Each structure stands twice: as structure tokens, then as C-alpha cells.
Structure 1
Amino acid sequence: MLGLMYTGVDFCKKLCGVSIIRSGESMENALRACCKEIKIGKILIHRNGDNGKQLIYEKLPKDISETHVLLLDPVLATGNSANQAIELLIQKGVPESHIIFLNLISV
């Protein structure tokens, strides 16, 4: 025993989800089941070849820079789309420490 006291955790007050369009949308219903009134943004990134990527569409909550973001993408292959989405969120003012990447399968 170290004699340290564990104080627990608290639910984050400002939380939003951002799905990477197509696969990420499959995770939205489960997120809404856990967090009824959660705001959800969308990002569409087009892959061009092995490493090319292009932002096609983004619709994010106006106050996204003040929230913790759950980035939804169930299947991670190369990671290019995830990297582009994280870069976009950082450009929008979201601290990197406030981005949590939710993923189910990594290949």
C-alpha cells in the first residue's frame, strides 16, 4: 500500500461526438444511448491512393473548441483519415488532450 487516496472520476460536462462519415456513423446510436442529448459532428475525408487525403465535408458544433471530443471511427486501417480528422479538430481549437479516438477494429 502506498497510502495514496483515489478520488475517483467525474463525467465531463461538455462532450460531443464527431463521426468520420460512413463507418463512424454506425457508432452514433450507441453514443446517443449513453449520452442522450450529445451533439454530433461529421467529417468526410476522401482517400486518394495510399497516402493522399482530402477533406470533402465537415459540420462541427460551434463550441467544439470548448468540448471534449469522442472521435468515432470503428475500423482503423492506415490511420490517414484519423490523422486528418485529428488535425482538423486541432485547427478548430480543440486541445489534443481533449480528443479521444474510439475504435473497434485495427488492422
Structure 2
Amino acid sequence: MGPTVINIHSKTSVPGHVVWSLFNMVFMNFWCLGFIAFAYSVKSMDRKIVGDVIPAQAYASTAKCLNICTLVLDILMVTAIIICFLIEPAIIHQMVSEMKKYFEGFQ
């Protein structure tokens, strides 16, 4: 009996980032980057199914970058909105007090 050789072919795993792109498209799509990221994710999965690994990796990389950009921009926007809601009452209070001082001068 001769030696047994087993060839294991490892397929390169290409994450498509479809779930992340779908989440960004549905919930965090202020700049429409979620739609674009989802389109690249679908293209990546299509290329992966066909067997074209290099284009699939390129589309997946683009989808990942777009998802990261969407996430960062959304975090910045939510932070800016929170800051505006925190600062707005102070500004309104200051405006009201200045208006009171202004109208007290007429009496």
C-alpha cells in the first residue's frame, strides 16, 4: 500500500458585508451611501458565486469602506444633533433674558 495524499483546496473567504450594508441602507442612510454599499455587497456576492475571487474582494473592500464612511458620518451627525439639543435651551434662555432687558428700557 502506498501513501495516501489528500489535497485540500482552500477557497479564499470573501466577506460580502451584506448584512452590514443592509443595516446601513435601512437605518443609517442619511447620505445614500448605504444604497451604494449594498450594491457593492451584492456585486461582491455575485462575483463570489461565479468564482471570480479578485473582483469579489475588490467589491467587498469598497463595500466595507463605504460602510465605515456611513458609520462615521452617522455618528458625527447624531453627535451634532445631540449637541444642538443640549446647547439650544441655553441659547433660548439667553435670548429671552436679553429681550427682557431690552423691553424693560421702554417702560
- TM-score of the superposition, structure 2-length normalised? 0.23
As a proportion of its length, which structure holds more helix? 2
As a proportion of its length, which structure holds more strand? 1
Could you say which structure has the larger radius of gyration?
2
Structure having greater relative contact order (Cα 8 Å, sep ≥ 6) = 1
